[in-house]
Amino acid sequence: MRARPIRRNIYLPVVRFGVADSDWFTVLLISCAGYLAPVPFGITVLYVPLQMWTWLLATAGSIAFFNYIRIGRKPCWLQHKLKALFFHHRQHRAIPNGRKRAFTRSWILNNEAAHGWLRSDPQSARSSSTLILLDHNSRIQEAIEERWNESLLMTN
């Protein structure tokens, strides 16, 4: 077989101090925020203005944070973690008489005007439903007799 080249490293992040190039802007923002936030208070700690400490801490902290979420983690680890944190692990089924509104809004705007579906004769609608039901039942019966339903295979 012909060998097809795979260049798996072409989009690997360029990393400095363990922080990907795309994350450095965030580090910069955090550092700036860390520096500017205490400025109005004019506090000094150990003869050094507080903003110098906070700047240092914010920079080191953000670098450590980006190292933590990247090294040894799968891609998008933080996003998935946060999503799991904020969203319930259970996605319950749609309940017909549930408190939440059912998905009943049509995604076609001029549906009624175009088809007059709702304005059709209720009796005839009922009879056509019965026909559909009969048709459906006979199809199910046939499927059971055949014992195998191709589409079941494709449902994974």
Partner 1 sequence: MERVLAYDELTDERDLRRHAVALVRPSGRRRDSSIVGIYRDALRHKDGALTVAYQVETPATMFADDALVDIRYDDLARMLAFDKPSGTLVQFRYSTTPDPGQAITNVITSRALAGTHTLASLLQASNLDYLRGTAKSLPYRRSVLTMWIRVPPKKRGNPTISALADFGDAFRQEMTERGILSTLRDLAQIYSRTADDSVVRRTLEAEQQAYNHANRVWRLFENSSPLTLRRFTRQEIWEAVFYGHCQNSNSSPILSDRPGRDLRDFLCGETVEGELNYLMHGEYPVTIVSMFIPPNEFVTADALRSLIGRRDFNLRHTIVTEYLFPEQRKETKRLDRRIKQVKRTFTRKDNPEGAAALRSLRAVREEVAGARESLLPTRFYVLLYGERARNLSELKQSVEVLDEQCERVVSAIRQIPGANADREEPEALRALFATAIAGELSPGLTGRELTEVANSAVALTPTEDSWQGATRPHTLLSTATGRLVGIDLFDRNQIPSPLIQIIAAPRGGKSILMAQFACDILASLSDASVNAIDIGETLLPLATVLGGRYIRPRPDEVRAINIWSYPELKDGEMPDDVQKALVVGDLKMLARLRDDDKTAEDIISAVVAQVYENIVSQNGPGRPLFEPVLSHFIAQLRTYPFDAEIVRERRETLVLALNNYIGHPWLDAPTHPDYEEKSPFDVFELGSLRDFPNDIKLSLAYRIAAYVARSIGRRRADGTRAPTANLFDEMWEIKDEYPFIFKVLQHAGRKGPKENSITILATHAFEDIEDVASLSKTGNVIFVGKQLGDFSKIVEHAKLSANGATAISHIKTAPGRFSQFVMVIGTGPDQVVELVQHELSPLMLWTLTTNADERNARSLVSAYHPDWSETQVHAWLAQHYPRGLTAVGLREIDETLLAVAA
- Site for partner 1, rule CB under 8 A: 1-12, 14, 21, 74-77, 79-81, 83-84, 87-111, 114-115, 117, 132-133, 136, 140, 147-148, 150-156
Min dist CB 101 to partner 1, Å, is 6
By beta-carbon proximity to partner 1, the closer residue of 36 and 133 is: 133
Min dist CB 26 to partner 1, Å, is 17
Long-range contacts of 54-60 (CB under 8 A, 24+ apart): 55/31, 58/30, 58/31, 58/33, 58/34, 59/27, 59/30, 59/31, 59/34
Whether the CB-CB separation of 19 and 68 falls below 8 Å is answered with: no
Min dist CB 28 to partner 1, Å, is 17
Whether the CB-CB separation of 14 and 21 falls below 8 Å is answered with: yes
By beta-carbon proximity to partner 1, the closer residue of 47 and 86 is: 86
By beta-carbon proximity to partner 1, the closer residue of 71 and 94 is: 94
Residue 54 CB neighbours (<10 A): 21
What is the Cα–Cα distance from 115 to 23, expressed in whole angstroms?
53
By beta-carbon proximity to partner 1, the closer residue of 25 and 148 is: 148
By beta-carbon proximity to partner 1, the closer residue of 100 and 122 is: 100
Min dist CB 27 to partner 1, Å, is 17
Min dist CB 143 to partner 1, Å, is 8
Buried b (16+ CB within 10 A) or exposed e, 93-123: eeeeeeeeeeeeeeeeeeeeeeeeeeeeeee
